[in-house]
Structure 1
Amino acid sequence: MSDEDLSGPAYRRVLHGVYVTSAVQNNLRERARAALHVAAPGAYVSHHTAASIWGGITPSESRIHITVPADGYRNQRRGVVVHQYRELDADVRTVAKIRISSPAQCFCELATNGLSLVDLAVLGDSLVAAEVVTSDELIKMADSWPGRGARTASRAARMVRAGTDSPPESKLRMLIVLAGLPEPVVNYIIRHENGDWKLRFDLCYPELMILVEYDGEHHNTDPRQWARDLERREYLERLGWRIIVIQKNHLYQAPEQVVTRIRQALLDRGLPSSRCRIRPRWMTEFAA
């Protein structure tokens, strides 16, 4: 095939030297296949790319990450990051004919790659929500991980919770915990007398009847959602619940105020001050 053929409408370049027909979708899996096509034997998709394919949430990363054996060549190409593994009994799976790090292994790979404690917890929550791994499997892998970041991975794995709906909810829970406040229950459900599902809350202190809810932007931009939220909160307030609503600008621009608001609510509901001491370690992860 000539260069003229490849540059025509029938083909599309995925990476330098790698082309597909125009009918092939331009998505993450196809770019991962292309990277493996020109990689050393034994290579597999890893790190951010593997996490995304498994349904995990990580900080934005457009490059494809692959890992090759220690004695394999590192064929560097624009848009591809090549890692090498040493003394690692890799846990590699196959998804849609792609060799890929297991969910637990890519969690630990990203710890080695410097992902923060909070971002690792967000990743763990999202992988568990995608039903591709359990928190126990993350803990087991992290505790035996030989690479850098093993301590952070082990700590983050123990902070992963099932049932979290979104990264902001995970980050809000982590802010509360790292600040030293009691950990709220995730997705607490109130049921009708017959046991049917009635209401579900993001974060909750059931014994104190305190709700902590994260409102995404759609809660403000959708009038019907806004009206439903108001009606729901008025109903809960009549039942005696105290509701603390946290929005995006609160969490990302004024985290200290978030911690203070939640602490005051706990104190108002009778929690001893000894259990509401704010620790400064949250600042390293959430400094505005």
Structure 2
Amino acid sequence: MTKRGSFGLHQLHDLISTGGSFTVSTARDLGLTRGVDQYRRETGRLGRPHHGLRTTAEPADLLDRARMAGLLLPPGGAIGRRTAADLMEVDPRLPSERGIDLDVECLVPLGATPLRRPGIRSYVTDLEPDEFDTGLGFPLTTPERTLADLLRWLPAHMALAVADRMARRKLVDLDGVEAILDRWHGHRFVRQARRLLDAVEPKSESYGESWLRLRLLDAGFPRPEAQIPILDGGLEIYRLDLGWPDLRIAVEYDGEEFHGSPEQQQHDADRRRDMFERHRWNVVGVGKAHVLGPTLLLEHGVGEMLGLRPRITHRSW
């Protein structure tokens, strides 16, 4: 007679305790297939979040979902792109995606079969062994490889915003990103990635500032300085988002969070009037609708201030 637990339940408990999830193929290799069936019957705790994967609990957050997807990766694969950035606490979501859970994105090496599961996006690419690590318990692309990918594949304004944030937080070595892009010379969207890498500004304090700066650069205007201090008696009294100090012209991004109420808007108006009357700075504020809108009103307005004509006739993002 077969005894209770003779299907290797103690081994199965050991397997589950390492992370709460395991692949069916791992259980099969260990001879635990019958034990898995018995465990499910006796506990009712074994879920199936993806084909070929078993877990004792539903994923609670992105880290759980990434860890589960990591179990399904072929050798040499890694979690990457937007998921990697998100796990580094750099939000890669488009404005229209704020507040939603993104699919887990992963990279699989050339010649491997991409993962096809709900909630997982898989990309076949070259991936060097030193471009990912396992510090979180599964392969995750390094900040340099993550940013190199995002500079290529994200919309330009979001790619620059993510790059600025990673540089500001000193998460990434920009020279390392350039070295990866050098390896991809002539590949798709690498020219965009190089242009955006040259535009990275670690001083940028918000995504809106990054978007605004890219529009000014796309228009062909001289690169503005970021976070310009205005001093009075040696003390900083104001700081301007973007501008050209030699011309005393500045452009600021008025985000909805800090500039949306009537009181905040009045404060902005008073501040800019004081900047002009006492310090001879011409400062204009622009909002999200101007920066992400479809027209070239922003470019023509700033161009008039600078005495320059925009070099573009249509938006590229």
TM norm. shorter chain > 0.5: yes
Match of 2:63?
A: 29
From 237, 244, 252, the equivalent of 1:198 is 237
Contact in 1 for aligned 2:77/2:127 (Cα 8 Å) = no
From 130, 134, 137, the equivalent of 1:97 is 137
Match of 1:116?
A: 155
Rounded Cα–Cα distance in structure 2 between residues aligned with 1:165 and 1:3: 54
1:263 paired with 2:295, answer no
Match of 2:252?
A: 213
Number of matched pairs: 270
Contact in 2 for aligned 1:57/1:167 (Cα 8 Å) = no
Give the direction of change, closer, same or farther, for the CA distance of 1:241–1:39 in structure 2 (3 Å limit). Answer: same
Match of 2:118?
A: 78
Match of 1:285?
A: 316
More strand by share: 1
Give the direction of change, closer, same or farther, for the CA distance of 1:111–1:247 in structure 2 (3 Å limit). Answer: closer
Rounded Cα–Cα distance in structure 1 between residues aligned with 2:259 and 2:296: 23
Q: TM (normalized to structure 2)?
A: 0.74
Give the direction of change, closer, same or farther, for the CA distance of 1:87–1:135 in structure 2 (3 Å limit). Answer: closer
Query: Counterpart of 2:216 in 1: which secondary structure?
Result: helix
Amino acid at match of 2:254: D
Give the direction of change, closer, same or farther, for the CA distance of 1:88–1:95 in structure 2 (3 Å limit). Answer: closer
Give the direction of change, closer, same or farther, for the CA distance of 1:187–1:18 in structure 2 (3 Å limit). Answer: farther
Give the direction of change, closer, same or farther, for the CA distance of 1:5–1:52 in structure 2 (3 Å limit). Answer: same
Rounded Cα–Cα distance in structure 2 between residues aligned with 1:80 and 1:262: 43
Rounded Cα–Cα distance in structure 2 between residues aligned with 1:35 and 1:141: 25
Rounded Cα–Cα distance in structure 2 between residues aligned with 1:227 and 1:278: 30
Map Cα deviations across residues 105-143 of structure 1 (whole Å, 9 max, x no partner).
12222355x433333222211221232014443333323
Match of 1:19?
A: 55
Amino acid at match of 1:279: R
1:185, distance to aligned residue in structure 2 (A): 0.7
Aligned counterparts, 1:1-288, within 5 A = 1-2=39-40, 5-6=43-44, 14-16=49-51, 17-21=53-57, 26-58=60-92, 59=94, 60=97, 62-86=102-126, 88=128, 90-112=130-152, 114-145=153-184, 147-194=187-234, 196-239=235-278, 240-267=280-307, 276-280=308-312, 283-286=314-317
Rounded Cα–Cα distance in structure 2 between residues aligned with 1:206 and 1:106: 35
State which structure, 1 or 2, has the greater radius of gyration over its C-alpha atoms: 2
Q: TM (normalized to structure 1)?
A: 0.81
Give the direction of change, closer, same or farther, for the CA distance of 1:75–1:213 in structure 2 (3 Å limit). Answer: closer
Paired-residue identity, %:
24
1:12, distance to aligned residue in structure 2 (A): 7.1
Match of 1:271?
A: none
Rounded Cα–Cα distance in structure 1 between residues aligned with 2:137 and 2:189: 30
1:4, distance to aligned residue in structure 2 (A): 8.5
Which fold has the larger relative contact order, with Cα–Cα distance below 8 Å and residues 6 or more apart in sequence?
1
Structure 1 alignment gaps of length 5 or more: 268-275
Query: Counterpart of 1:243 in 2: which secondary structure?
Result: strand
Amino acid at match of 2:61: N
Contact in 1 for aligned 2:115/2:121 (Cα 8 Å) = no
Give the direction of change, closer, same or farther, for the CA distance of 1:260–1:95 in structure 2 (3 Å limit). Answer: farther
